[in-house]
Amino acid sequence: MPNTTCVETVTEEKLTAIPQARSVRWAPLRGIPLERRLQMLAVCTWISLLFICLVTFSVCFAFPILWPLLIAYAIFLFHDTAPESGGRRFDCTRRWAIWRYFANYFPVKLIKEHDLDSTSNYIFGYHPHGIISMGAFANFATEATGFSELFPGIIPSLLTLVSNFRLPLYRDIILALGMGAVSRSSCEAILNSGPGRACVIVVGGASESLNARPGIADLTLRKRLGFIRLAIKNQASLVPVFSFGENELYEQFENSEGSVLWSVQKKMQSLLGFTIPLFHARGIFNYDVGFVPFRHPIVTVVGRPVPVPKLAKDQVEPTKEQVLAVQEAYIDGLKAIYDKYKDVYAKDRKQDLRLID
């Protein structure tokens, strides 16, 4: 990457670390390379894609000639089972140039700790959730960081909320990227579709996003046993994945447990299944106000797979002891990744990794 990228990245990080600065610092109109302009455009396109799709779909209703197509599409959307069966993957979509610019904005880097056997299946557990899981998207929903070259024969499916597949047009784009619904039936359909399949689950979910802050790696993991049961039942090895820098992309407003904001966010989570952290970062033309993530490197490390025990012939579900034993091995693998790389990619951390729930 050009030296100018590194210079601007470091400058932004240092400036954003000064909370008492009140004036908005504007980005220069000239002197920024075209490559960086395209990176900004790619990130802005992705974070606003849902809004763009909804507006486009709504505008189509202004043209009566399109109504038959819209009605047919609505019927198709209602009956489409692709979200529960591993998406509707198109490799060319995963290789669009926009995703390369997206990944280079931060930039995002993928590191492999161990080879994966393409005759086996896997469940990747991604940590931490962060605010929007930018690293998970760049690494596992696109080929921008070279997943297929690092793990030949492995086909990843990044899983997201079922509600995302009820959104017209937007759903079709993420389906084309190979994304699927984060549900038991979806995971089982993917893992039973053949060897070399991998479900990628952002384990911490909405609860963990409320703790996403720079310099902190607080994981919601102890009570998340569903993905471990799925792995054992489907004989899929568990692969711990940790992304350094995921929590550094946004600043989050104070929402300590028991506060009014925290109570509202938890209530929303219980009602809707997701919540919305109140966060901010930079803007398109400034470094202080907006919802565009900061330029901060994301380094995603894919760890060594954790084998799972075989079930007895008459055993339908894994025992609690089996689940907890696999969980401990998985947590050990995750901590091993963190301890190995924390002094390289998390030099400015405020504390080490913690399991808070």
From CA 177, how far away is CA 314, in angstroms rounded?
Answer: 38
Q: Across residues 268-276, what is the average pLDDT? A: 67
From CA 187, how far away is CA 200, in angstroms rounded?
Answer: 9
Q: Across residues 311-330, what is the average pLDDT? A: 93
pLDDT beyond 60 at 20 = no
Q: Which residues constitute the domain of residue 130?
A: 3-17+28-47+80-355
The answer as to whether 53 is a domain residue is: no
**Residues with Cβ < 8 Å from 68, sequence gap 6 or more?**
none
pTM for this entry: 0.88
Confidence tier at 207 by pLDDT (50, 70, 90)? confident
The answer as to whether 260 is a domain residue is: yes
The answer as to whether 247 is a domain residue is: yes
Mean pLDDT of the chain: 89
| Helical H segments across the chain, by residue range | 3-16, 34-47, 49-60, 67-79, 91-94, 97-105, 134-140, 147-150, 170-176, 184-191, 205-209, 226-233, 260-272, 320-345
pLDDT above 90: percentage of residues in the chain: 73
Residue with tokens 């400034």: 286
The answer as to whether 159 is a domain residue is: yes
Q: Are strands 354-355 and 218-219 parallel, antiparallel or unpaired?
A: parallel
The CB density around residue 226, as the number of other CB atoms within 10 Å, is 14
Q: What is the pLDDT of residues 101-125, one digit of tens each?
A: 999 999 999 999 999 999 999 999 9
Q: Which of 20, 227, 275, 17 is nearest to 127 (CA)?
A: 227
The answer as to whether 63 is a domain residue is: no
The CB density around residue 291, as the number of other CB atoms within 10 Å, is 16
The answer as to whether 64 is a domain residue is: no
Amino acid 83: pLDDT: 93
The answer as to whether 263 is a domain residue is: yes
The answer as to whether 65 is a domain residue is: no
CB 234 within 8 A of CB 188: yes
Q: How many domains does the chain have?
A: 1
pLDDT beyond 90 at 156 = yes
